[in-house]
Amino acid sequence: MMINKTLIAHLEDLKNKCDVWHKAQASHFFSEEDLAELSQIYPASKHIIYDGGYEGARKKKIIFLYDEEDDYRDIVCLVSDIDQRFREINHRDILGALMSLQIDRGSFGDFWIENNKIYLYSSNDMAKFIIDNLKRINQLSVQFEISDINHIQEFKYKDIQIIVSNNRIDAIVAAITHLSRSKAKEMISSSLVQINHRVVEEAEELCHNYNIISIRGYGRFVYVGIQKENKRGRKSILLKQCI
């Protein structure tokens, strides 16, 4: 995936405004895939920070700071109680409700359901619109309000073990998906596999400890590392699968 020139021009404009106006400037929320590339162009520093509202957020903004002491933030956490006794909703339902209001995906960050509550991060200037207009999600009544604290999403994982001959990405993908190496290579060439949110281009690329592997249709995995190796050189590898 290549970041388009229009987006880079927009970020350069924000950076220049920050320098000229002596005032912090924030982008919209970016996906993990975009962030993986943008962080190479705009590495985090005293004057460039990445913020999604809480530690470990997946979607984040790029914020250009004029003064490294600036504590500028424009992200809020919205919360709504929900009653799922008679109707359950999921991540897709929430996304569909937001998109039906024609809210741009860059205007909100992470969102999730936990303990009969919906947590949703958004830009401060979008919060009032969401509060005033997002009243139902798949026929379930909701009423968002701004939280006094920034809640943290707890990501859950389960351990899985795979046996491979080496730690090449095609071997890892084949073992995870229970497909042949040739099929795994086809998935890689079709841009269905990512390492650390970057599309894998070469089947020979090696996986390293704590790399994040994403396989479209199969989920996200953390490559923990080789646990043991038998006399034939085959390796037992521990992965953590996001559930």
- The dihedral through the CA atoms of 212, 32, 53, 80 has a sign that is negative
The whole-angstrom separation of Cα 119 and Cα 57 is 12
- Together in a domain, 134 and 164: no
pLDDT digits (tens, 9 = 90+) for 162-195: 999 999 999 999 999 999 999 999 999 999 999 9
- From 146, 166, 188, give the residue that closes a domain: 146
- Together in a domain, 138 and 168: no
Across 86-105, average pLDDT:
95
- From 115, 146, 177, give the residue that closes a domain: 146
Decide if pLDDT at 1 tops 60: no
In a domain, 104, yes or no: yes
The confidence band for 70, taking pLDDT boundaries of 50, 70 and 90, is: confident
Q: What CATH number is associated with residue 113? A: 3.30.70.330
Residue 106 has what DSSP assignment?
G
State how far the alpha carbon of 152 is from the alpha carbons of 54, 140, 209, in Å: 6, 24, 25
Residue that wins the pLDDT comparison between 205 and 85? 205
- Together in a domain, 166 and 98: no
Decide if pLDDT at 128 tops 90: yes
- Together in a domain, 167 and 229: yes
Instruction: Work out the burial of residue 45: count CB atoms within 10 Å of its CB; fewer than 13 is exposed, 13-18 middle, 19 or more buried.
Output: exposed
Structure token pair of residue 204: 């020979």
Q: What CATH number is associated with residue 178? A: 3.10.290.10
Q: Flag whether the pTM goes above 0.85.
A: yes
- From 146, 178, 201, give the residue that closes a domain: 146
- Together in a domain, 162 and 236: yes
Which domain range does residue 182 map to?
Answer: 157-242
> Structural domain tally of the chain?
3
CB neighbour list of residue 139: distance below 8 Å, 6 or more residues apart: 87
Across 34-39, average pLDDT:
94
The confidence band for 116, taking pLDDT boundaries of 50, 70 and 90, is: very high
- Together in a domain, 59 and 79: no
Question: How many Å separate Cα 219 from the centre of its chain?
Answer: 13
- Together in a domain, 85 and 53: no
Across 32-55, average pLDDT:
95
